[in-house]
Structure 1
Amino acid sequence: MNIIHHGGFNQVTGSCHQLQLSATESYLIDCGLMQGEQQSQPPEVDFYSADIKALLVTHCHLDHVGRIPYLLAAGFKGPIVCTQATARLLPLVIADAIKVGITRNAELIEGVLSQLQQQLMPVAYDQWLGLSQHLKVRFKNAGHIMGSAFIECSIDDHQRVVFSGDIGCRGTPLLPDPDTLDGADLLLLESTYGNRLHESRKHRQQRLKSIISRCIEDRGAVLIPAFSIGRTQELLYELEAIWHELEVAQTHNFPEVVIDSPLAAEFNEVYGELSQLWDEQAKARLKEGRHPLDFNHCHTVQQHSTHLELVNRIRSTSEPVIIIAASGMCSGGRIVNYLKALLPDRRTDVLFVGYQAKGTAGRDIQRYGPEGGYVILGGERIDIKAQIHTLGGYSAHADQQELLDFIGSSQSPVKRVRLIHGEYDAQAQLAEKIYQRFSIPVETAAGSIYE
């Protein structure tokens, strides 16, 4: 048995791992796009060969699935195995990725989606699926986004390899907490935030309320670069709670919320359709007649012309508003127009709620904005006078303590860990913590082995 990494090994994006059982039998776990400094044009799938029998998908974020169209074009005809919710969301993600990065030709897009649908193999959580006489797999809830999973691979019934995908935080709005491990001979563990701890949900709610209050007082805009799946829905959940409190208190002085992302609006609908997968707190809101993803004072912008009109109106008027727009790393999409127009305005607040990869505009704004620096957007220098905030508690990724607790949740001891999906410093700090707590061998992408 061998594991080959085609991305997401020594960086946070581009997850793609090949589980090789023999010269004629191997399986891909995820096939994601690299973003930021690691991004290649066009994305490469030069590793494809006929021995790849199936693609196993942990969840449908682009950095885990964005290279699937290229894999299909290379000739892959095997099953694409994923949870039922991921199977529902994945065609939306792939269609958008093709439109943005490849072509807007409707016939070609429909051809790719038709092939994708034929190859999708949805599976339920917690059920073993035999893929060959040598391999069976089981998907367990990862609590990262709707449908996310970590994947247990049982090889010849005597060796257990687990791919974590992205592990979510405990107490995430809408989603149940991640499942516990049964055990692993080898755990391939994400390490995105392996070197930090998130702020508490209570603290992040207080900070969010404070930013909204500033928006009202200054009559400025709050810009939230949001990933269409996961973060947008969590933010709406939290904003609905704040708006509900204000309405109960008969306070009507609060800004409108605008979702300026047709894709996010589609995902909101699917999240609503999959409400049986929500956590108990979210289900309780529904029973009260509240709708966390579709509430008063929340509007969606569909047409690009309407988007441009809104950008110009906000720039030229004193209109308190909260804008949630893609892309989450400010590397494209409608958020860029808002940033160009409003970063030079001191009344503006930019709120980061997700990871910003190296080489992205989001990382530059996050790093240089607090110092009054500038960012290059579309070849144009934009001075940053806006307030820049990062709410780590809204991250979809488990922090250092939660990753350690994930290992510690295992019913049988984890025998070995290989850290993936993280930058070098995050991997090094997490590896040291794992070894200190569990005294098990830990490998990092830099080649360090703690044992």
Structure 2
Amino acid sequence: MKLDFRGGCREVGRSSVYLNDEILIDYGMKPGEIAQYPLNNLHPKSVLVTHGHLDHCGALTNLIHDNSEIFMTPPTADFTEMLAEDTLKIAENENIPPAYNLEDLKYFMNRTNKVDTGMEFSTNGYKVHFYDAGHIPGSSSVYIETKEGESICYTGDVNTIDTRLLYGADVFPDADTLIIESTYFGEDHTPRKKLESEFIESLKSTIDIGGSVIIPAFAIGRTHEILMMLDSYGINAHVDGMGLDAYSIMKKYPDYIKNIKHLKKAFRDASVVKGKKREKLPRDSSVIVTTAGMLNGGPVLQYLDKVYKDPKSKIMLTGYQVEGTNGRSAIENGFIENKGIRQKLQTEIEQYDFSAHCGDRELKQLVKDFCDRGTERVITMHGDNSEGFARWIVDKIGVEAYAPSNGDIYKF
């Protein structure tokens, strides 16, 4: 068995693993001032996509002219197409020559096989099974049996804890090799109930003094969980950005949502903002949930342009901020880049860990469960401290563990 690690190693972003020069698992991009992509020069026979976040699917369009068999869950296929169309719009607005056009994209998506979680299928001699990863709607962990009978479980981004939007991940089968994310190795998440209480208390304190609250949120998943939370506390928010398009997709797949009725109610109770309506916001005591979650592009920059000098207002980040993004700069330096202008934030800025990933405790338990059932080796990736996780596995569990760098190839 040959595993070729093309991206997402010892970093968060541009995840990609190439199995036996035949099966490609994920092909994402790493956002930042200059986007980064996986190592290329590959022509896979099959492509398996775990979920519709850019760091896992954002470079798929580089494969648009290949004749690979492509497999995703139905929601992941729709989210991938939505993000690819948005990439074309950005290229047009910034006068960047696109690598593909809408016709190319439609051809690519028409070749995509949509497979529900829980269904086994075959591709080029490999047996594959998608398991619900509990990360965003339609997200999957991939279980593969090779032609030689070896078994691999690639978790992708995984969350074993229930949230308002989703149930936690499925129970996975035994596997000879486990490839696991390590985003939050060494860091436990605040329990959801406590986190929500702290978030709402801070939000209300800003509203009470007449400030506005800007809540940057990822378009797929985070926007929707935040709106459901706000709705449950009786807070009517404004919602803007690509999260609205993602909601339209989610409504098509109610079986992938924990409580579709609550999700629909949250959006009915929110005020949808588009186009010229943005000019009227924010007003005093406004709550605005909008993309982008890392402050890189999207409507959030228009809102920040209006409030960044207002010390009464607040920015409430809701997740991980990748190095090189505006969100990371805002936290560490108090600055963002907005339309080519460096802006010093006088608003309060807070970060909350509404993560859709396993925390340290859950990651370690997941590895222990696999190894107790006979897993022979564990490979850690998608994290800033993948090496530390691999060392922990060797020291505490006594199983072979590796933390590859991008470009590393392993043969077992």
The two structures have a TM-score, normalised by structure 1, of: 0.83
Which residue number in structure 1 is paired with residue 333 of structure 2? 368
Which residue number in structure 2 is paired with residue 11 of structure 1? 11
The match for 2:316 among 351, 354, 357 is 351
Which residue number in structure 1 is paired with residue 268 of structure 2? 295
The match for 1:81 among 71, 74, 87 is 71
| Pairwise CA RMSD | 2.4
> Contact 2:295 / 2:327 at 8 angstroms: preserved in 1?
yes
Structure 1: distance between partners of 2:78 and 2:31: 24
Deviations 1:381-438 (A, max 9, x none): 322222221111x111111111112223437222211111111xx2233234333442
**SS of 1:48 mapped into structure 2:** coil
The match for 2:146 among 148, 151, 155 is 155
Deviations 1:248-295 (A, max 9, x none): xxxxxx5x411121x21111122223222222xx25x55xxx834423
> Contact 2:75 / 2:250 at 8 angstroms: preserved in 1?
no
1:141 and 2:132 are equivalent in the alignment: yes
Which residue number in structure 2 is paired with residue 36 of structure 1? 32
Structure 1: distance between partners of 2:169 and 2:24: 23
Structure 2: distance between partners of 1:94 and 1:350: 28
Q: Which amino acid aligns with 2:119?
A: Q
Which residue number in structure 1 is paired with residue 243 of structure 2? 264
> Contact 2:165 / 2:257 at 8 angstroms: preserved in 1?
yes
Which residue number in structure 2 is paired with residue 396 of structure 1? 356
Q: Which amino acid aligns with 1:331?
A: N
Deviations 1:214-264 (A, max 9, x none): 132111111111110010111111111111xxxxxxxxxx5x411121x21
Which residue number in structure 2 is paired with residue 277 of structure 1? 256
Between stretches 355-364 and 160-169, larger displacement belongs to 160-169
Which residue number in structure 1 is paired with residue 84 of structure 2? 94
Q: Displacement, 1:39?
A: 2.4
Correspondence list, 1:85-124, <5 A: 85-101=75-91, 109-124=101-116
Structure 1: distance between partners of 2:394 and 2:267: 45
Correspondence list, 1:207-226, <5 A: 207-226=198-217
Which residue number in structure 2 is paired with residue 46 of structure 1? 40
Q: Displacement, 1:80?
A: 1.3
Deviations 1:125-150 (A, max 9, x none): 222211123x1111101000000001
Structure 2: distance between partners of 1:15 and 1:31: 6
Aligned length: 403
1:306 and 2:267 are equivalent in the alignment: no
Q: Which amino acid aligns with 2:403?
A: T
**SS of 2:311 mapped into structure 1:** coil
> Contact 1:184 / 1:416 at 8 angstroms: preserved in 2?
no
Shift in alpha-carbon separation, 1:101–1:395, aligned structure 2, 3 A: farther
Which residue number in structure 2 is paired with residue 242 of structure 1? 233
1:55 and 2:47 are equivalent in the alignment: yes
Q: Displacement, 1:306?
A: 2.9
Deviations 1:340-367 (A, max 9, x none): 3212211111111121111111001122
Between stretches 212-221 and 93-102, larger displacement belongs to 93-102
The two structures have a TM-score, normalised by structure 2, of: 0.91
Structure 1: distance between partners of 2:146 and 2:8: 23
**SS of 2:297 mapped into structure 1:** coil
Q: Displacement, 1:335?
A: 1.1
Structure 2: distance between partners of 1:366 and 1:336: 16
Q: Which amino acid aligns with 1:83?
A: T
Identity of aligned residues (%): 26
**SS of 2:237 mapped into structure 1:** strand
1:165 and 2:165 are equivalent in the alignment: no
Between stretches 124-133 and 348-357, larger displacement belongs to 124-133
The match for 1:325 among 290, 295, 298 is 290
The match for 1:408 among 368, 386, 393 is 368
Correspondence list, 1:161-240, <5 A: 161-240=152-231
Q: Which amino acid aligns with 2:238?
A: V
Shift in alpha-carbon separation, 1:140–1:102, aligned structure 2, 3 A: farther
Structure 2: distance between partners of 1:35 and 1:87: 20
Q: Which amino acid aligns with 1:168?
A: N
**SS of 1:32 mapped into structure 2:** coil
Shift in alpha-carbon separation, 1:260–1:197, aligned structure 2, 3 A: same
Shift in alpha-carbon separation, 1:78–1:264, aligned structure 2, 3 A: same
Q: Which amino acid aligns with 2:264?
A: H
Q: Displacement, 1:368?
A: 2.8
